[in-house]
Structure 1
Amino acid sequence: MAGIGFSINKLVKEKNFSSKPRAFAYAAIVTIGPLLFGELVLVAVYALTNFSKVIVADRNLIVAIITYGLLASLIINGASSLVISRYLSDKLYAKKIGDILTTYWGSQLFLLTVGGLIYGIFIIFSGIGIFYSVLAWLLFCELLLSWNALNFLTILRDYQGLFKSFSLTIVTTCAMGGIFF
């Protein structure tokens, strides 16, 4: 999030009539974007399960697993992204880009270890069965790694890449649902 901060500050300092509303819109999109796209994926999954005549209890379980995975991954990633984004923004500002890839892999390993352990404990006590537990844990780990990668893309100011990746996620979810339907 700190990477976009520089762009937003630049927009705010401009003397154009539209610079402050544009800065606010960019900040809102980057902040709310993951939530909105996550909700769109949930709606798509709910519609696909409803269309394929999945039993209501199973449909609710699938949506609950995805919802908890999304929320937990965003919470755990949000706590670490404060430190990671600040560190990377300082490195980018000082034009010392040699540590970016090392920081990326280190943060991925850290998040997977700590987050996977915390969510694994949660899943153990959820009582949803071993098969669903493994699938829920794998989904959580995938989401956690994806959010961290998106943080790096945000810091590196690849906003079109962010939009494309979120859009691709929605299309992939619908396509895979159609294939497995």
Structure 2
Amino acid sequence: MTATTATSNSDALTGETYPVEDVGAVRVVRGTGIMVGMRIFRRGSDDRSDSAGGGSSSSGTSTGTSARCPELGTYGIDINADPGPRMGDIGACEECTQLGEHHWAHLRICLDCGHVGCCDSSPRRHATAHFEESGHPVMRSAEPGEVWRWCFLHEAMG
């Protein structure tokens, strides 16, 4: 069971105080269902354990993550082993660019084929559409400094 810590925060604009609860790596504003943050595990960090109780294996995959999601276990954590962007640009959504659009929230890269698509916070959600069309289950954030992976099948982060 994950330990929780109850605290309160105050809104910088209004000065209102509201209760928050730290639940593992996520802070939840009590009574609202709002998650305020998420812990990102960085390469080279000694703290890679997750809620399933695993850590890093000698092969470079997270053993706890692979226990809940076998797909995440098949993709290593080394971004140098990932496929390159298939259109050559990791900084642009393939479909949005073809449509003449250049505004998206964040980008994701498919770890099967290198497709770069915009995230679900973007209007067109091309990364999810790619999964639905191709069946490729795992993608990684294509944002600078982010290394997390997401499995669409199990809705699991690794």
Give the TM-score, by structure 1 length: 0.24
Give the TM-score, by structure 2 length: 0.27
Q: Which is richer in strand?
A: 2
Work out which structure has the larger RCO, using CA pairs closer than 8 Å and 6 or more positions apart in sequence: 1
Q: Which is richer in helix?
A: 1
